[in-house]
Every structure is written in structure tokens, then in C-alpha cells.
A = this chain, B = another copy of it.
Amino acid sequence: MQRTSFADMPCSIARTLDVVGEWWTLLIIRDIFNGVRRFDDLLQHLGISRNILTDRLNSLVDKGVLKRARYQERPARYEYRLTEKGLDLLPVLLLLMRWGDKWLAGEQGAPVSVIHKDCDHGTIPTVMCSVCGQPLIAGHLHLQVNVIGTAA
């Protein structure tokens, strides 16, 4: 269980981790991106306990990352879909994957390749500047604290 809430820290990294910063949460979101959307399928695919999965799914619905959608009437059965807020986590997942591919995959190489349908090439997701389009790299950024009353 989470003992400290980061939500009140004036930092968007801390706030984001308060929503998704837990071992299982991003893997649940990964699976839903990949089309594993039903409780029993997630249970089996993740090898997670029923209690933890229930807790994490409820939390992600409460926080607006997932929504429940009924796929069967009698008995009522639901699947989990990403909201717009949840779909917007794709870049985070892509970057976690890219780092693991580069630093943790070992000799066997990347387990999964990402094909960009628009250009039909295998792509390496890369973080670029929205203004000039160049890759953003350490040492080339300046962080400017915005004074908004409670900023530390």
C-alpha cells in the first residue's frame, strides 16, 4: 500500500507517480493498450492476485485513466477501456520500453519492435522538442519554476 501521497507536491512527476507510479499499474495499462481488457484475462495474463488487480483497476477508474464498458447484458459483464487521459500515457509506456530495450534486453535484443504505421518503418520512440523538432537531451534543458503561490 502507498504510504505517502505525492499528489500535493508541486511537481508534475510526483503527481503522475501518484497515479501510475506502482509496479502493476503501468503493466495493467500496457495490457489494456494491447487489447487485454477483461478482468479474467488481465488476471491470467499478469499473474497478479485478484485483490491487487481489483484495487488497481478501481483506482485507475476513480482517477479517470480507465472507464468500465459493459460488453454483456445478462449477467452484466464489463471490460476496461482507456479514457483520453489513459491513452495519453502511451508516450510514457513507449519511453519505458525504449529504455528497457536499450539497457536491459541483453544479447537477445528487444522483445517487441514498434512499427510506425504512418511511415511503415520500425521506429525508436524519441523525445523531441515541440518547437524545433530536435531530440531533447540532458544538459540542453533549463527548468524554470513557475511561481504559482504554493511552488516550493
Q: Which of B2, B122, B128 contacts A128 (CB 8 A)?
A: B128
The reply to whether A115 and B142 form a contact with Cβ atoms under 8 Å apart is yes
The reply to whether A13 and B87 form a contact with Cβ atoms under 8 Å apart is no
Given contacts A16-B97, A82-B138, A123-B132, 16 further A-B contacts (CB under 8 A): A6-B27, A12-B99, A13-B30, A21-B22, A22-B22, A88-B99, A111-B148, A111-B151, A113-B143, A113-B144, A119-B129, A119-B134, A122-B131, A123-B130, A127-B128, A128-B128
The reply to whether B21 and A26 form a contact with Cβ atoms under 8 Å apart is yes
Chain A positions within 8 Å of B, measured between CB atoms, are 2, 4, 6-7, 10-19, 21-23, 26-27, 30, 33-34, 47, 64, 82, 85, 87-105, 108-119, 121-134, 136-138, 140-146, 148-151
